[in-house]
Structure 1
């Protein structure tokens, strides 16, 4: 991992939050290299002992927040509430669920009860 070009950007967060390091590394590289997000930055979420990523999809102006986590983690409503608070109350947050085979599934989480689009 330390030989990868993105390690320089992530190294201080990987050492600070080692339990979330794999998910952060995998999600950052997916967003930056595969999905080609721009203005990608790392945001600390101290209440959840991890980091989030904030950036823009290609050809989009909205600033989106993504929280990497592992499929094996247990998440609670308090954890999600803390995430929204630490990120400054965005309208929604994407959870990047990482699996052992390096695949990532993104779930859009909104505060409260939100009617799904038709």
Structure 2
């Protein structure tokens, strides 16, 4: 991981959260290199023991928040509430759920009850 060009952007948080490092590395590279988001930043979330990724999808102005985690992890509502708070209470965050086979799935989590789009 340390030899990869994107590691420099992650170097300030990877040593702090080694259990979340793989998920962060995989999601960061997907967002930056595959999805080609702009204004990508890594944000330290110490109370949930990991970092998040913020940025903008192509051709959009909205800043999105992505919290990487592993499929093997157990998350709680309290954990999600803390993540929302640390990210300054956005309307939604995306969980980037990674697995051992390099699969990556994004789930949009909204605060409260949100009516689905028709």
Q: TM-score range by the shorter chain?
A: over 0.9
Q: TM-score, normalised by structure 1?
A: 0.98
Q: How does 1:18-37 map to 2 (within 5 A)?
A: 18-37=18-37
Q: How does 1:37-76 map to 2 (within 5 A)?
A: 37-76=37-76
Equivalent residues in 2 for 1:65-104 (5 A)? 65-104=65-104
Bigger helix share: 1
> Could you say what the CA RMSD is over the residues aligned between the two structures, in angstroms?
0.6
Deviation at 1:19, TM superposition (A): 0.8
Q: Matches of 2:8 and 2:91 in 1, distance apart? A: 30
SS of 1:5 mapped into structure 2: coil
Secondary structure at 1:21 match in 2: helix
Query: What CA distance in whole angstroms lies between the structure 1 residues aligned with 2:53 and 2:22?
Result: 14
5+ residue gaps, structure 1: none
Runs (4+) off by over 6 Å: none
**1: distance between equivalents of 2:117 and 2:47?**
31
The TM-score, its normalising length taken from structure 2, stands at 0.98
